[in-house]
Structure 1
Amino acid sequence: MRRILVRSLVTLAVLGLAAALGAAAAPATATPRAPYVRGTSTVPFYSYAGAVRESVWVSTPLDNDEDGVPDKVAVDVVRPRTGGVRVPVIMQASPYYTCCGRGPEKQVKEYDANGTITGQPLFYDNYFVPRGYAVIAVDMAGTGRSTGCTDTDGREDTLATKAVIDWLNGRAKATYADGSPADATAWTNGRVGMVGRGADGTVTNGVAATGVEGLKTVVPISATSSGYDYARHNGVVVSPDSNEYLFHMVNSRPAEACARVLRSLDVGSDDATGDYNAYWAERDVRPHASKVRASVFLVHGLNDGNVMTDHFALWWQELKVPRKLWLTQAGHVDPFDYRRAEWVDTLHRWFDFYLQGLRNGIDREPPVSRETSPGTWVDGPAWPAPGAREVRVPLGDGDGTTGTLGARSGRGGRVWTDDPDLSEDAATADPNRPVAGRAVFLSRPLARDMRLSGNPSVTLRVKVDRPTTELTARLVDYGTAARVNTVYPAEGLRTLDTRSCWGASTQADSACYLDSAQDVVTSDRGILTRGWQDAAHRVSLRFRVPLRPDRWYTIKVPMQATDQIVRAGHVLGLVLQQSDLEYTTPATTGATVRLDLSGSSLSLPVVGNARLPRPGAEAPRVEASDRIGRQDARLRSRPTP
């Protein structure tokens, strides 16, 4: 009898644990008899024109403008008049609502004479408010109508935004403009989903990493997951004073109110060394992935030259919650502007599942959707692709000018001196021609398609005649094909003259937006991925170890995550150089690098059994001169909304 009782207790405990684990991944329970639900979908039911529009100021736990009172963030609310039905919230926090606008049409917040919100940027309120959601737009600390000071992805940005979710759940206080208390619990059930692109997505990641109760799902689009990796590439400075630049772009406070915070941004970022320090650790969410309780829907551009692909990849791999991923061939853009109908439908079902508790099956669909070529999307079960394996590719001597990629390491070497003015166009063009400041290695034409999914890298055995130098690697697909033209600032899109409407409109807030299409060109090569490494940071990103000119060193140059297909007949190329004026701010030491081929190799994340053909005695002849030029390359190193 005792054995049966013990077995029953164990069974109940196991069932209880399973239920608890299931609850973490399950959607919220639907509101009983919600009038805006039909089957497993929310539908337009409430009047958008008749929605409640109000502004409140939420008290935060911080006072970083040091005026003796808690900082307050301004929150503009658009919510349906539900007659007592409490609804979930879609929330976008941004520093850009006043200075720069959101979306391709640069929409800013619009207010009436009384200071009440009349127009929120983007389509979220137009579309979701009639469907039983409140949509709120938060001016991040120190921007718009908020107090405090922005600290560029730091503690203030995160905790001040988190305070809004606390208010929605009755754990923080807020007031209207006249000082009277504002209580959200009368109209919301406290379930929150955050969404945003760029800096808006970055704060979304940051708030999710606090594990705040009530945040049920997040949708970060082209968002960073490490401030260091945005401003540095393995010790190489991307743009000096980048955080101060962003501060000045978005700040709405008097200069004297935030002088101390501005100084801390300058000192803490430590541009002089490029080291990872406590300042950057505060802006790194990856170590806190285990705290995330919300489901995550990541969206990123495989050719995003602003927020590099490691930001999504390293975050994605750390998350232990329900996940979904879209990867596009475009750059730093919103899916509303390249896959509009599919995006609105998918986002609608995602929010319905995790915020309304409607079991519409989105959790059983393939979690990964990637664009393999312009306009062609393929779904998959995981990322990186199942079956991806690391393949080591030796570097061969070739003809002594252009090397080979293939089965046997070369016995020779390469010697080149840094050319800080060597552009990406020049470095990757005419790979069979000697060009000062670069070294090129080519495969033979591929016999069949090869998919790369993950992080390539190159290991270099080098001798350097300076205490350090920057090392840059580019993986290039040589072959004529239609490609998305991601030249800055269009990022792969062209705006059309037509408009389409997504939701309800008022005279002050239209739901109709200019249509867009991918900008597709035919080019003779495409950059698959890039990588950078400061040689003195080869041991650790936290400190520098200078090189000695009489010694050989083995230095790994990691490349950004990618998922691309190199087509049959194309040639895979590896281009090495030192300074990169395209994606970093060169700090040339004038170094000369001596490369030992026998100790150097390329590592590729190859899916399946595809392999590079055995190289011949010489590299193949490749014509690659017709390349679309970029605008001023240094514009890429400036943070953009």
Structure 2
Amino acid sequence: MKVSHLTRPLIALLVVAFTGLGTAGAALAAQSPHDGGSQPVYSYANAVRETAWVDTGLKDPQGRAVRVAADIIRPAEPASQGRTVPTIMDASPYYSCCGRGNESQLKTYDSAGKPVQFPLYYDNYFVPRGYAVVLVDLAGTNRSNGCVDVGGPSDITSAKAVVDWLNGRATGYTSATGSTRATASWSNGSVGMIGKSWDGTIANGVAATGVAGLKTIVPISAISSWYDYYRANGASLTAGTPAGLATYVWNSGAQSGCSSVQSATSAGSPSNGNYTSWWAQRNYYANAANVKASVFVAHGVNDLNVKTINFGQWWDALGANGVQRKIWLSQTGHVDPFDYRRTDWVDTLHRWFDHYLMGIDNGVDREPVASVERTPDHWVDDPSWPAAPSATTLKLAATGTNGLGRLGSTAPAPGATESFTDNPGQGERDWTANPDSVLGSRVLFSSGTLTSDLRVSGTGSITVTASSSLNNARLSAVLVDLGPETIRNFEGSGEGITTLDTKSCWGDSAAGDSACFKDAAADTVDVDSYVISRGWADLGHYASLNSQQQLTPGKAYTMTFKLATTDHVVSAGHRLALVIGGTDNGQITGNSRPRVTVDLTRTTVQVPLVGTLPK
């Protein structure tokens, strides 16, 4: 994950303060259906705060057992009554390097090493309602030993081992190196994982193992395939390198002796864009058939950090395997729902955990599957998602102006072509700024003016047949809404939100751990064009992502690749356009300048449409 974005914290939630109760009657009420869900009847101030170091079963390169630190906060009353509780768990590499939430909260400890501050609102809100909250340091980060391997076996096993421990299947200890056992006798074995970005990615990966006891996951802006975080169909995205990301989050002490893991990381993620076994090991959607947990996805359709193809392919794979699903799609970039729809988010999340972890029949599983932000702060619900049952194939036809064509059902003339010269210094902003003007670095095809709204909902693709003047070529395909509208300013510093000076409190506070977090509001901008989906490729991977080929100049090659998953309504009076260009500056890397010729007779774009384009 790109450091500049992923270090942005998971946004905290708005919660109302309650007073915890400690009577036996109140304890029973916390896990009983009452007023729609679990109630804040347990004392947060008197909650048990402790750490277990869980044996992952892994060895570091020196042969030492890898233990991960699981910081726990749980209500004291149930255990004293012989009762057990479910767990909400967030496994992260960020608890000491970067922080979580809008205030970059870190874990803190007292002089004896006992946890004091649990970042985010989960503990403040859910512990009084009868949940344990467990925050896990991935191997090689914060207080865990071992090596960071960026989404691989070390990462996933770090979290899976804690789920196993909560179910009595793994061994825990009261210290990092000691032999005194720690047991989770207070746990009922039901676990829900949650987290934004890398944290949510770990939730995806653990769910893909099929581990027993994991009842639900809530991945927020999460990766489903690390290849699709760093690469796009053979092209390198501007996200840095996996090895570089590892150095950003690791505990330098724990990482001593991990050079072999770093070497394997670098070797397994070559800059030529090849899909290797290293990437395959970090492809979670390929193992969606193993998922037993329900999945509540939240993602911004304008997330240029964790690209939306990550939730799209995960969602489709889960659906193909009958997984219970729910999805929220905002207009933001890489932002947590707490910052764009706070009250509704905490209410929905509360009912989701109550249902899947406490067994409360509150109807959340029968509500609309999807909630989509249509315009800033205006949401619509859908009974299923995506809205388009299949993609519509659109054709590209030339007009009398070279570089400007027609998008729709009209077939191109026999032998029709369009050409552009790659300019690595330009990108989608340049390509879409003046859509009716000729620009040598791209070709643009637009529909006629829409007479009714047109919804693009789902994952599209493009099949391009093109030749290059050199032995290489980058390809970019950009789907654009041409017309004025107000959108969230996802390219701004807050990626669509503004953090306010006011605070709201959800849950209970204690010394060193406040339940109060900064509020946020929509940051909007007026635009004349809006990119709604993107896709990139290296034409040298036309035959296979496993191997890059040198192109024969002048020879045509055909390649099909996906466009980013999206949900957007192109309003009546607007036009839908497709841009085909070379290197998309700021999105993919490249430095050559081939002349690329597109064969229009063998190039089509498949768009998931609800509605029709004008003839």
1:49 to 42, 45, 49: 45
The CA deviation at 1:237 is: 0.8
CA distance in 2 between partners of 1:538 and 1:103 (Å)? 41
Alignment deviations for residues 452-495 of structure 1 (CA, whole Å, 9 cap, x no partner): 11222333232212222110011111111111110154211111
Counterpart mapping for 1:329-340 below 5 A: 329-340=331-342
Match of 2:562 in 1: 558
Q: For residues 580 and 304 of structure 1, what CA distance do their matches in structure 2 show?
A: 16
User: Is 1:326 the equivalent of 2:328?
Assistant: yes
For 1:373, the aligned partner's letter is: T
Aligned equivalents of 1:536 and 1:148: distance in 2? 38
The whole-number CA distance in structure 2 between the counterparts of 1:35 and 1:359 is 15
- The Cα offsets for residues 338-363 of structure 1, whole Å up to 9 and x where unpaired, read as 10110000000000001111111111
Task: Decide which moves more: 422-431 or 175-184.
Answer: 175-184
How many Å separate the matches in 1 of 2:224 and 2:196?
13
Query: Which of 68, 73, 77 is 2:72 aligned to?
Result: 77
Instruction: Please state if 1:137 is matched with 2:113.
Output: no
Q: Which one-letter code corresponds to 2:458 in the other structure? A: G
Q: Secondary structure at the match of 2:40?
A: coil
In structure 2, the residue matched to 1:634 is none
Q: Aligned partners of 2:257 and 2:520: how far apart in 1?
A: 41
Residue type at the aligned position of 1:210: T
**SS of equivalent residue, structure 1 residue 495:** strand
Q: Do structure 1's residue 462 and structure 2's residue 493 form an aligned pair?
A: no
SS in 2 for 1:167: helix
Map of 1:594 onto structure 2:
597
What one-letter code is carried by the residue in structure 2 that aligns with 1:77?
A: I
Corresponding residue to 2:572 among 568, 574, 595: 568
CA displacement at 1:415 relative to structure 2: 1.9
Distance in 1 separating the partners of 2:457 and 2:187: 42
Deviations 1:190-233 (A, max 9, x none): 11100000000011111111111111111110100101111100
The equivalent residue for 1:14 is none
For the 8 Å contact 1:241–1:266, the answer to whether it is kept is no
Of the three residues 449, 474, 478, the one matched with 1:474 is 478
- Residues 397 and 410, structure 1, Cα contact 8 Å, conserved in 2: no
User: 1:602 and 1:210 mapped to 2: Cα distance?
Assistant: 35
State the alpha-carbon separation in 1 of the partners of residues 211 and 273 from structure 2. Answer: 32
- Report whether the alignment pairs 1:435 with 2:448: no
Structure 2 residue runs of 5 or longer lacking an equivalent are 1-24
Q: Deviations over 1:320-377 (max 9, x none)?
A: 2211111111111110111011000000000000111111111111111111111111
Q: 1:369 aligns with which of 355, 368, 371?
A: 371
**Shift of residue 107, structure 1, vs aligned partner:** 0.6
> C-alpha offsets along residues 237-276 of structure 1, whole Å, 9 cap, x if unaligned?
11475111111110103353211111111111111x2111
Partner Cα distance (1:407, 1:240) in 2: 37
1:102-141 correspondence to structure 2 within 5 Å: 102-141=100-139
Deviation at 1:533, TM superposition (A): 1.2
- Summarize deviations over 1:135-170 as a string: whole Å, max 9, x none: 010000000000001100001100121111111111
2:491 corresponds in structure 1 to 487
Query: How far off its partner does 1:175 sit?
Result: 1.1
SS, match of residue 58 in structure 2: coil
The 8 Å contact of residues 193 and 218 in structure 1, kept in 2 or not, is answered as yes
Shift of 1:505: 0.5
Residues 294-373 of structure 1: pairs in structure 2 closer than 5 A: 294-319=293-318, 320-373=322-375
Aligned in 2, Cα 1:389/1:290: closer, same or farther, shift over 3 Å?
A: same
- Give runs of aligned pairs for residues 230-241 of structure 1, distance below 5 A: 230-239=229-238
- The alignment's C-alpha RMSD in Å is 1.8
Counterpart CA distance in 2 for 1:387 and 1:415 is 33
When structure 1 is superposed on structure 2, of 284-293 and 547-556 the one drifting more is: 547-556
Query: Deviation per CA, 1:427-449, whole angstroms, max 9, x where unpaired?
Result: 11112222221111121211100
Among 13, 16, 29, which residue is 1:35 paired with?
29
The Cα shift of 1:277 comes to 0.9
Structure 1, unpaired ranges of 5+: 1-30, 615-641
Distance 2:183 2:125 in 1: 21
Moved more, 412-421 or 212-221: 412-421
Residue number in structure 2 paired with 1:250: 249
Give the counterpart of 2:427 among 415, 418, 423. Answer: 423
Q: Identify if the C-alpha distance between structure 1 residues 387 and 68 changes in structure 2 by more than 3 Å, giving closer, same or farther.
A: closer
Q: Is the 8 A contact 2:39 2:129 kept in 1?
A: yes
Q: Which range moves more in the overlay, 86-95 or 398-407?
A: 398-407
> In 2, Cα distance between the equivalents of 1:473 and 1:304?
17
Residues 64-84 of structure 1 deviation map (CA, whole Å, 9 limit, x = unaligned):
2x2333101011110001222
TM-score (norm 2): 0.91
Match of 1:148 among 131, 146, 149: 146
Partner Cα distance (1:362, 1:32) in 2: 24
* Structure number with bigger Rg: 1
Aligned length: 579
Q: Distance in 2 between matches of 1:502 and 1:182?
A: 35
The within-5 A match list for 1:153-302 is: 153-177=151-175, 179=178, 181-239=180-238, 242-254=241-253, 256-271=256-271, 273-302=272-301
- 1:400 corresponds, among 387, 399, 402, to 402
| Change beyond 3 A, Cα 1:268–1:401 | closer
Aligned equivalent of 2:538: 534
Partner Cα separation in structure 1 for residue 169 and residue 111 of structure 2: 31
Report the secondary structure of 1:100's partner residue: coil
Instruction: Give the distance between the partners of 2:543 and 2:345, measured in 1 at CA.
Output: 43
1:380 partnered with 2:382: yes
Equivalent position SS for 1:490: coil
CA distance in 1, matches of 2:262, 2:558: 39
1:486-510 deviations in Å (ceiling 9; x for gaps): 0154211111111111110112111
Does the aligned pair in 1 maintain the 2:307–2:564 contact within 8 Å? yes
1:448 to 452, 468, 475: 452
Equivalent pair of 2:470/2:551 in contact (CA under 8 Å):
yes
One-letter code of the match for 1:340?
Answer: R
1:562-584 C-alpha deviation (Å, 9 max, x unpaired): 11100000111111110112212
Residues 589-598 or 303-312, more deviating: 589-598
Give TM-score, length-normalised by structure 1: 0.88
- Pairwise CA distance, 1:180: 5.4
Inter-partner Cα distance in structure 2 for 1:509 and 1:393: 58
In 1, the alpha carbon distance for the partners of 2:164 and 2:373 equals 38
Query: 1-side partners of 2:388 and 2:407: how far apart?
Result: 25
Give the drift of 1:521. Answer: 1.3
Amino acid at match of 1:540: S
Does the 8 Å CA contact 2:395/2:412 hold for their aligned counterparts? no
* Residue deviations 1:388-441 (CA, integer Å, cap 9, x gap): 442323333242342122332333422221100013221111122222211111
**Mean alpha-carbon deviation: is it higher for 234-243 or for 278-287?**
234-243
Paired amino acid for 2:375: S
Question: Which stretch shifts more, 239-248 or 522-531?
Answer: 239-248
Separation in 1, partners of 2:190, 2:67: 22
Q: Deviations over 1:280-322 (max 9, x none)?
A: 0110011211111111111111111011111111111111221
Structure-1 separation of matches of 2:238 and 2:403:
33
| Equivalent-residue separation in structure 1 for 2:26 and 2:294 (angstroms) | 23
Contact 1:406 1:612 in 2 (8 A): yes
Deviates more, 1:428-437 or 1:201-210: 428-437
Seen in structure 2, the aligned counterparts of structure 1 residues 557 and 86 have a Cα distance that, compared at 3 Å, is closer
Are residues 182 and 357 of structure 1, via their aligned partners in 2, closer, same or farther at CA, if it must alter by over 3 Å?
farther
| Alignment correspondent of 1:636 | none
- Tell me the distance in 2 between the aligned counterparts of 1:375 and 1:390: 29
Secondary structure, in 3 states, of the residue corresponding to 2:501?
strand
Contact 1:34 1:85 in 2 (8 A): no
Give the residue type in structure 2 aligned to 1:442.
Answer: S
How far the C-alpha of 1:183 sits from its partner, in A, is 3.6
1:633 maps to: none
